[in-house]
Amino acid sequence: MDIIAKLLGCIKNKVHHHTDNNNVALDQEQEESMYAFYKRIETQNQLSTDFLSFQPQVSVDVRNSLVGWLTSLHFSLDLLQPTLFLAVNIIDRFLSVEVVSSEHDLKQVAIVALVIACKFEENWSPTALTLMEEDEDSYGKFKDMAFFFGEVALNDYHATISYSPSTLAVSAIYAAMCVLKKSRGSKRRFLNTNQSYSKGEVTFCARRLQRLASVASTGN
C-alpha cells in the first residue's frame, strides 16, 4: 500500500505540473524523481539468481523449453512483443514463490500468465480455454507433420541408407518446425538440445526431406 501511495503521489504531482507547464527545471526534476522511484522498486523486486533451486520439476532447461513453447504460441496469436516479455516475467515471479509439480501444471501457469499479460498490453484478451485449444491444435498439426516427413524418408532409399534412423527422426522434427514456421529461437534451442547430432547434417537432411515431400505431395 505504501508503494502504491508513493506511485500515485508521483503521478499526481506529474499531472498537476503539466497543467502549469511554466518551470522546465521542475519538470525535469520530477521526471528524474519518478525514474529513481521506478529504479528503486525494480531493485527491491529483482528475482534471485537461483529462484528455480527449490523447484523439484522445473530446471533451467525446462524453463527455457517452456519459454520457447510460449513464444511459439504467442506468435501464432500475433500478439505484441511486450506481451511476451511481461508473460515470462509473471511466470518467473510465480515460480519463485510457488512449487509446480508437473509439466501440465507448468503449461497452465504459462497460459494464465499470457492471459494476464494480454490484459495489460493488448486491445483484446484471449481466455485461458482459447489458448489451451490453440496449443492443442498447434501440437496436433506439428505431430502429424513430423510423422509425414518420417514417412517420406521411409520411401526414399538414398535417405534411408545415408542417415541413421535417429538422425532421420530429428531431421523430420526439424523439417516440421520449418514448415510450420516455428520461431528461430525454438529451432535453435531444438538443435542445441540435440547436440549429439551435427547441426549441418540435420538441417541438410531436413531440407532434403522437404524436397522429397514436395515431390510426394504432387504424386499419388
pLDDT of residue 17: 46
Task: Assess whether pLDDT exceeds 60 at residue 123.
Answer: yes
Share of the chain above pLDDT 90, in %: 10
Listed in sequence order, the residues at least 6 apart from 68 whose beta carbon sits closer than 8 Å to its beta carbon are: 183, 185, 186, 189
**In 10 A of CB 6, how many CB atoms?**
13
Comparing C-alpha atoms, which of 163, 152, 139, 154 is closest to residue 209?
A: 152
Cell 529504479 -> residue:
39
Which cell numbers hold the place of 152? 517420406
Average pLDDT over residues 196-211: 88
pLDDT of residue 136: 56
Instruction: Assign 7 a pLDDT band (cuts: 50, 70, 90).
Output: very low
Comparing C-alpha atoms, which of 178, 79, 59, 67 is closest to residue 122?
A: 79
Radius of gyration of the chain (CA): 24
Cell 533451486 -> residue:
53
Q: Which CATH number fits domain 60-126: 3.50.30.30, 1.10.10.410, 1.10.472.10, 3.40.50.150?
A: 1.10.472.10
pLDDT of residue 89: 92
Higher pLDDT, 129 or 33: 33
pTM, 2 dp: 0.49
Angle between helices 81-95 and 60-76 (to 10 degrees): 150
pLDDT of residue 73: 83
**What is the rounded average pLDDT for all residues in the chain?**
79
Task: Assess whether pLDDT exceeds 90 at residue 137.
Answer: no
